């Protein structure tokens, strides 16, 4: 795919098109001319998003591991802490590194293909697997119940009137594909589910959702066969999926064996390279609910969580190599997420309980390499209930993907996500020709408090660059306690406000500063007299 090359060598766009088209209506060519992509928005570019859902709630603090706060990390979860010397370094970054099983992701990072976003969550997080999953898939607030998913809203609004009139010449393929047999709620649009379920094993004649029972030589067998045949024949996408699958005859040979996620991603790569215009794929892996035995006692770089992270990393790495082999690497962006991260403090069973904030990986050639956000602030001692606080709202991640990968205009993004969310720089600006602030040099201490620890009140000092500025306080479980600042500053400056806590219990509180794309979180400790 040469689209990015085209952008680089042909500018400005607007001056070029009229000459190219010789007065024809541009809309008549939409979709037919691939280089319109990135200009008319998501329906016309050839970008693909692959979502990797990790069921169970991944222990993010043993995935992206603090280096700058290593001793506190080690103290808070001593029985499962990864030895400092085993942490995989990410380029020159000295704040955090990766779990030693994730050498593949490390190489992606060092190859400019991996962004890490710290502390992704939402206000008042839910620790139920089910509810938290629904929140992540739909893009809801924790007290909001949506019957559409965030991807479904994106696709439903991009492909107007879907499913009426689809497939058609401009969009002959499924809008989204779920590897597996059950469609995720994330694909639900107001017009119905936008995805098709495709099994990871390659029997694409059997790709209808279905039971695996045989078709015996009885009246039932006869009729089951008949119904299944009609179901296949009338699946309007079965033909194009099969054709795309068959078109690819060779793939990268290095996919790891016995790695289910790798097999799912391999199928995605094959369908992508086979020419499907499908925008979003979803794959998943389970097993992250590591309440106990996530590491081997005394050998914390081994054990169950190590296997999981190794499989995840190996699968993604093989997928990236395959995409390059297939010439699709410029088209694909991937993202991992779980329903929540786990607690900061480990339990006595060599495990961790349900938590809140988590690191999110964004991978692909377009990923803006770096670690967005700071290492979660870790005091030397913490309550067992403590969760990783929110630095970035997960919908800010979605929002930025829609804006910077699918090139959706900001006003449409807020319609799709039902609110305005912070715009985050983790995708290279070349993907949609958007400009965004570089957050690599914003400084380390944009928000501080004094005294700390404090008894009744503390003074919070924050630095704003001007523009919209938000200062929130969350309790140790992530519940939103107070919004101290929510206003637009005309210019940059340093301000101090007083946070009074007379009626609040002693313990840890988080002060979160959000100034346009910049976010920092400061841990504050309230003590009793």
Partner 1 sequence: MRNSAWPGSTSGIQEYTGTWDTPQVVHLLKRTVFGATVADVNYFKGMTMSQAVDEILTPTAAPTTQPLNNYGADVTGVAPWATWIGTGLLYQDQDLNGSRVASMQLWWLGQMLAGGRSIHEKMTLFWHNHFATDAITDHLGDTPAQLWYNQYLTLRTNALGNFQAMVKAITIDPAMLIFLNGSTNVNTSPNENYGRELQELYTEGKGVNSLYTQTDVHNAARVLTGHTVDASYNYVFQAGNHDQADKQFSAYYGNHVVTGYSGVAGAGELDDLLGMLLGTDECAKFICRKIYNFFIYYVDDATVESNVIVPLASVFRSSGYSITAVLSTLFKSQHFYDLVYAGACLIKSPLDFLLGLAREFNLAIPTDAQSQYNAWGLLFNQAQILQQAVLNIPVVAGWYPYYESPTYHELWINSVTYPQRNYYTDLLMTTGDMMNGTTLVVDPVAFTQTLPNPSDPVALVSDALSILLTVPVSTNDQQLMMRTILLTNQTNNAYWTQAWQAYVATPSDMNAYSTVFTRLQAFYKYVMDLPEYHLS
By CB under 8 A, name the one of 217, 249, 411, 487 that touches partner 1: 217
Nearer to partner 1, 80 or 285 (CB): 285
Closer residue to partner 1 (CB): 11 or 227:
227
Of 315 and 424, nearer to partner 1 (C-beta) is: 315
| Contact of 186 with 148, CB cutoff 8 Å | no
| Smallest distance, partner 1 to C-beta of residue 494, A | 40
Closest distance to partner 1 from the beta carbon of 161 (Å): 15
Q: What is the smallest separation between the CB atom of 220 and partner 1, expressed in angstroms?
A: 3
Cβ count near 182 (within 10 Å):
8
Question: Quick one: which segment of 221-229, 294-302, 379-387, 469-477 binds partner 1 (CB under 8 A)?
Answer: 221-229
Among 211, 253, 257, 488, binds partner 1 (CB under 8 A): 211
214 in Cβ contact with 180 (< 8 Å): no
Per-residue x/- marks for partner 1, 124-143, CB under 8 A?
Answer: --x-xxxx-xx--------x
55 binds partner 1 (CB under 8 A): yes
> What is the b/e burial string over 412-448, where b = at least 16 CB atoms within 10 angstroms of the residue's CB?
bbbebbbeebbbbbbbbebbbebebeebeeeeeebbb
Q: Which is nearer to partner 1, 206 or 254 (CB)?
A: 206
Helix (H, G, I), strand (E, B) or coil at 513: strand
Subset of 226-245 contacting partner 1 (CB under 8 A) = 226-228, 230-231, 233-234, 236
Pairing status of strand 188-189 against strand 192-193: antiparallel
Task: Please identify which residue in 74, 79, 93, 181 interacts with partner 1, judged by CB under 8 A.
Answer: 181
**Distance in Å, CB of 142 to partner 1, minimum:** 8
Q: Is 390 exposed, middle or buried (0-12, 13-18, 19+ CB in 10 A)?
A: buried
Contact between 213 and partner 1 by CB under 8 A: the answer reads yes
The residue among 80 and 196 lying less far from partner 1, judged by its C-beta, is 196
State yes or no: residue 286 binds partner 1 (CB under 8 A): yes
Distance between CA 321 and CA 333 in Å, rounded? 13
Q: Judged by CB under 8 A, does residue 466 bind partner 1?
A: no
Question: How many amino acids of this chain bind partner 1 (CB under 8 A)?
Answer: 47
Determine, following the binding rule CB under 8 A, whether residue 18 of this chain makes contact with partner 1: no
When the beta carbons of 20 and 227 are compared against partner 1, the nearer one is 227
CB of 405 to partner 1, least distance (A): 26
Cite the beta strand spans of 312-456 per DSSP E: 332-338, 358-363, 370-372, 392-393, 447-450
Are the beta carbons of 132 and 53 closer than 8 angstroms? Answer: no
Smallest gap from Cβ 297 to partner 1, in A, equals 22
Pick from 397, 450, 385: nearest CA to 421 = 397
* 255, two tokens: 């996919």
Instruction: Examine residue 223 and tell whether it contacts partner 1 (CB under 8 A).
Output: yes
The residues near 250 (Cβ < 8 Å, ≥ 6 apart) are none
For the bound state, the minimum distance from the C-beta of residue 149 to partner 1, rounded and expressed in Å, comes to 11
Instruction: List all residues 6 or more positions away from 297 whose beta carbon is below 8 Å from its beta carbon.
Output: 79, 350
Q: Which of 212, 250 has the CB closer to partner 1?
A: 212
Torsional class of 258: left (φ above 0), alpha (ψ -120 to 50), beta (otherwise)? left
Shortest separation between residue 307's beta carbon and partner 1, angstroms: 15
* Position 59 contacts partner 1 (CB under 8 A): no
Structure tokens at 207: 């790709």
Cis preceding-peptide flag for 133 (omega within 30 of 0): no
According to the binding rule CB under 8 A, does residue 289 interact with partner 1?
Answer: yes
Kindly report the number of other CB atoms within 10 A of residue 203's CB atom: 8
> Rounded CA gap, 195 and 209, in Å?
12
- Our finding on whether 89 is near partner 1 (CB under 8 A) is no
206 lies in the binding site for partner 1 (CB under 8 A): no
Q: Can you give the binding site for partner 1, defined by CB under 8 A?
A: 55-56, 126, 128-131, 133-134, 143, 145, 147, 180-183, 185, 188, 192-193, 208-213, 216-224, 226-228, 230-231, 233-234, 236, 284, 286-287, 289
């Amino acid at each position: 795919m040469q689209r990015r090359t085209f952008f680089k060598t042909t500018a400005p766009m607007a001056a070029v098109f009229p000459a190219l088209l010789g007065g024809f209506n541009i809309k008549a060519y939409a979709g037919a001319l691939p280089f319109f992509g990135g200009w008319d928005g998501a329906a016309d570019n050839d970008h693909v998003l692959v979502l990797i859902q990790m069921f169970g709630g991944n222990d993010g603090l043993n995935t992206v591991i603090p280096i700058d706060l290593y001793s506190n990390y080690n103290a808070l979860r001593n029985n499962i802490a990864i030895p400092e010397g085993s942490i995989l370094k990410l380029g020159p970054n000295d704040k955090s590194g990766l779990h030693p099983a994730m050498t593949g992701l490390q190489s992606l990072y060092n190859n400019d293909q991996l962004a890490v976003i710290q502390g992704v969550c939402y206000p008042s997080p839910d620790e139920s697997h089910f509810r938290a999953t629904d929140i992540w898939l739909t893009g809801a607030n924790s007290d909001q119940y949506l019957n559409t998913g965030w991807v479904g809203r994106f696709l439903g609004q991009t492909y107007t009137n879907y499913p009426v009139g689809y497939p058609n010449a401009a969009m002959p393929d499924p809008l989204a594909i779920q590897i597996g047999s059950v469609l995720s709620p994330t694909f639900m649009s107001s017009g119905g589910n936008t995805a098709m379920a495709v099994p990871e094993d390659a029997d694409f004649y059997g790709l209808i959702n279905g039971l695996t029972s045989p078709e015996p030589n009885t009246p039932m067998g006869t009729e089951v066969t008949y119904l299944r045949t009609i179901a296949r024949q009338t699946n309007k996408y079965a033909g194009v999926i099969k054709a795309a699958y068959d078109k690819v005859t060779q793939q990268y040979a290095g996919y790891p064996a016995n790695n289910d996620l790798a097999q799912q991603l391999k199928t995605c790569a094959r369908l992508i390279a086979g020419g499907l215009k499908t925008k979003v794929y979803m794959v998943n892996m389970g097993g992250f609910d590591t309440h106990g035995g996530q590491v081997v006692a005394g050998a914390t770089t081994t054990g169950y969580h190590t296997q999981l992270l190794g499989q995840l990393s190996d699968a993604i790495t093989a997928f990236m190599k395959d995409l390059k082999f297939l010439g699709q690497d410029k088209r694909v962006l991937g993202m991992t997420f779980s329903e929540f991260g786990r607690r900061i403090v480990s339990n006595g069973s060599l495990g961790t309980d349900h938590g809140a904030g988590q690191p999110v990986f964004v991978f692909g050639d377009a990923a803006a390499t770096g670690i967005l956000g700071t290492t979660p602030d870790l005091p030397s001692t913490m309550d067992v209930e403590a969760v990783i606080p929110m630095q970035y709202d997960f919908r800010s991640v979605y929002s930025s993907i829609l804006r910077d990968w699918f090139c959706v205009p900001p006003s449409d993004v807020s319609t799709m996500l039902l609110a305005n969310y912070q715009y985050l720089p983790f995708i290279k600006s070349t993907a949609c020709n958007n400009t965004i602030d570089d957050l690599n040099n914003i400084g380390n201490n944009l928000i501080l408090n004094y005294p700390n620890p404090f008894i009744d009140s503390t003074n919070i000092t924050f630095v704003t660059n001007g523009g919209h500025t938000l200062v929130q306080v969350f309790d140790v479980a992530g519940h939103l306690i107070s919004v101290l600042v929510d206003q637009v500053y005309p210019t940059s400056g340093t301000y101090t406000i007083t946070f009074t806590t007379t009626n609040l219990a002693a313990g840890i509180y988080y002060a979160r500063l959000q100034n346009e794309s910049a976010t920092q979180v400061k841990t504050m400790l309230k003590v009793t007299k």
